[in-house]
Structures are given as structure tokens and as C-alpha cells.
Structure 1
Amino acid sequence: MTLEPRWTPHHYEVLGRLMSALFDTGAPGILEGAKNFRFWETANGGFSLTWERGPHAMEVVGELLELAADAERTRVFRPGDVVSVHNGEADPSSCTTVHIQNVRILIRPIDTIGHEAAVAEAIASLAT
């Protein structure tokens, strides 16, 4: 697989599609309850994402793969747009990589609690 070079229109289009998938496709969204979300470009032409609390890395990857397979839920991805890559990490829930339309996305959450617990925590904080 040849990865997309940095600073191309496609490179930034993928970032926009990813942000839409993470924040705009469902109630609650994939990153509901996550704190301190950040992203940056990497030297190898992709993006790195990090957040605290919130869902585990593999929950996010699973949701991205499901979105890509379900045209009823989103139009930002099509089947085959999202490919999960095994990093060889001892704990794949802590760090993983996906390729979205040939752009590498490194997912590196910190101190996660899982999607369900993060949503419950976010809802509880609204009640107080």
C-alpha cells in the first residue's frame, strides 16, 4: 500500500472526513466523553490523534470500520476506505493505526475508560 504524501488536498480531505466521523455521526458520537482531544500531522505523512478518558483505541477503530461499511449511517466513508493495521503492540487497545483512503492515522488515547463509561460520565456531569 502506497501512503498519501503530506500537504496534498486529499491528505486534508481525509482529515476532514475523519473529524466528521468522530464528532458528527451519531448521538452520542464516537468520542463523546473524551477529554483533551488533539491531533497533529506526523512526519510520515499522516495524522496522530490523542485524547484522555473516552473510548479505547480499538473501540474507535471498530466504529470507523462499521461506519465505512454502512452507507445508511454516513457518507464520509465507503467500504474499503478504512483499513485497520496491526502495530505489533502488546496492548492494541492503547495504540493502533488505521489507513483512511491511504492516509495513516495513529490513534493513541491516554488513560481510557471505554466508550460506554465515558458516555455515562458525560451524561452524569450534565446532571450536576
Structure 2
Amino acid sequence: MTTADSQTLPRLHDYEVLGRVLSVLCSTPGPLAECLGFRLWPRLHKDGGYVLSWHGHPSMHEVTDYLCAAAADDEMTADLRPGDIQLHRERTAVIVRGVQFNLQPEPMPSPESYLALGEFWRTGALPRKTIDS
């Protein structure tokens, strides 16, 4: 059985790495600084880690390339160093200092998809069915 105290130190490391990764990716001129619909949530897996998701541009390959370039260039950032980043599963996941980050870019919703939702996407109201007599 684990207690909250036994989980503290590994989680502190995870949060530190999360802060480093987000400061590199989300600060200007990072690739996710101006992306749409950026979301972050913890992975529900025994190994922990996080999922980073966004809509549209940039691709996950551009994000991993930027992270690798930032780690290799001391003038770009001091948050990451060479050797901190390992690419995993054909670049869909990045392991930074032992913490896994899954990268999930999602396609932009089209205007047609918003039209198909009708009023629901703005008000949450479901369409009423009429009873034919």
C-alpha cells in the first residue's frame, strides 16, 4: 500500500520536468505558444507522465524537433540539456528526464462540423423531436 508521503518525491520530479517542458514549448517563440485548444492532462498509467494535445499546427514532429534543438542549444534555453530527451514510439512520445509526454495533435474542426452540431455547441441545448400524430 502506498501513502501520499511515499508519492511525494517522484511527483515533485514530474512537476519540475513538466514545468521545464512547458516553459520551452509554450513560451514565445515555442511551437505551442500560439496553438489552439492546448490541453494537458496526466497519463493514467503506473509510470505516470503527461499528455499534451492541441488543435492544428504544429505537427508532433515539429514539436519533437524543437525540443531536441532546444536541449542541444544552451543559448536557446537552460531548462533542458543534451541527453535529457529520448524519442519514443516514432515520435508520438517524448521522454524528458524520465517523464513521458505523449504528443497528440488533433485536426482543426471544420465549419461543417460546427453546422452539424446546430445550437448544441453554443448553448448545450439538444434538438427537440416533434411527435407526429
Task: Tell which has more relative contact order, 1 or 2 (C-alpha 8 A, sep 6+).
Answer: 1
Give runs of ≥4 in structure 1 deviating > 6 Å.
none
Give the secondary structure class of the aligned counterpart of 2:20. Answer: helix
Q: TM-score, normalised by structure 2?
A: 0.68
Distance 2:33 2:59 in 1: 12
Return the offset for 1:33.
3.6
Contact kept, 8 Å, 1:33 with 1:53, in 2: the verdict is no
Contact kept, 8 Å, 1:23 with 1:31, in 2: the verdict is yes
- Give the match for residue 77 of structure 1: 80
Give the residue type in structure 2 aligned to 1:98. Answer: V
Q: Deviations over 1:25-77 (max 9, x none)?
A: x43x2114410100000122000010001200010001001111111100010
Identity level (%): 35
Return the offset for 1:79.
0.5
Unaligned runs of 5+ in 2: 1-6, 109-133
Distance 2:107 2:83 in 1: 30
- Give the match for residue 35 of structure 1: 36
Return the offset for 1:86.
2.0
Give the secondary structure class of the aligned counterpart of 1:108. Answer: strand
Give the secondary structure class of the aligned counterpart of 1:83. Answer: strand
Give the residue type in structure 1 aligned to 2:20. Answer: R
Distance 1:77 1:17 in 2: 7
Distance 1:40 1:100 in 2: 16
Contact kept, 8 Å, 1:32 with 1:54, in 2: the verdict is no
Q: Work out the number of aligned pairs and report it.
A: 99
Give the residue type in structure 2 aligned to 1:42. Answer: R
Structure whose CA Rg is larger:
2
